[in-house]
Amino acid sequence: MTKPYPLKFQPEFKERVWGGRALEKFGLNLPEGHIGEGWMIADHPNGVSSVVNGELAGQGLDQIREQFGQEWFGSKGIPEAGGRFPLLIKLLDCNDNLSVQVHPTDDYEGLPKGELGKTEMWYVLDAKPDAKIIYGLKENVTRESLRAALENGTVMDSMQEITVSAGDAFYIPAGTVHALCAGVVVAEIQQNSDTTYRIYDYDRPGLDGKPRELHIEDSLNVTAYEGAGATSMKTDSAVPGEWLQIASSPYFIVEKGVVNGEWNLSTTPDSFTILVICEGSGHLTWEGGSQPYAAGECYLLPSTLGAYGIEGRSTVLRSYLP
């Protein structure tokens, strides 16, 4: 009988035209190329992460889900037989601007078979001076004015730009037009979906030298022109030993915590817990075990783990199901 323990994974890395090498500074061993995404905890047809520690080393998250199901992931964790793990955790290195994009809701008729909508949040791990993101539309932009702006090449005038710095958090519900821009590294917690509709891509070629596909009609269809409830915040008010909630949605709760010494915590029976180590290092402890951790690592704690501790000096994100 395998006892529950914090699972650490080998990420699935994705080359992207906008990617770079910044994830190396987390000690991650990147393949060659422009690496834009590390899928740190993933159970999706386009990428599955595999366990690297403990008794289950070598098994994919999909295998663990099939083996342990609700027992490890909680009553909310795997709602139906054969259902995939509900979240996807990524680190993103934006060496160049990402396409301007928007994600659908779960009920959009144009979704690929088996896909979910995509509500997500970003926590900025690092940002060059004056780095920006695109975060929503300016006021009074309509479907008609957005289409006209796309046709006459002025679409960027419809976008709201925000300068960002490390520690900023952004909640991006489905329907929010958005884009990360050059010079930011973020942790992304999202629904387990890989559906993105590109509105605009700066007329640049993709990795194969050809223009990347745009999804104009789908984008116009799913955009929430009146706003989808996107929120942003500075998170420097986090104090050691207390969780600061930085995103709340029907799909995930995300909190920021500062560890200074030893912090004793516990999982709950209804949901797994995900820890993203933003900076610092130390040890995770639990009954009968200990695991060193470092910045850039992500851990999946089974709901049945019970009492655990985070020791050291670090900044962590904690995610779980609402």
Cα–Cα dist 272/5, whole Å: 11
Cα–Cα dist 299/274, whole Å: 6
Helix, strand, or coil here: 138?
coil
Pairing, β 244-248 against β 132-137: unpaired
Cα–Cα dist 271/144, whole Å: 43
CA distance to 61, 242, 317, per residue, from 52 (Å):
11, 30, 21
Q: Is 198 a catalytic residue?
A: yes
Cα–Cα dist 26/279, whole Å: 9
Torsion angle (degrees, nearest 10) of CA 282, 284, 290, 292: -40
Please identify which residue in the block is written with the tokens 């159970």.
43
Catalytic member of 16, 65, 84, 198: 198
Please identify which residue in the block is written with the tokens 């259902």.
83
Beta bridge mates, 197: 102
Please tell me the number of Cα atoms within 13 Å of 285 on its side-chain side: 11
Closest C-alpha among 21, 56, 61, 91 to residue 295: 91
Residues tagged active-site? 198
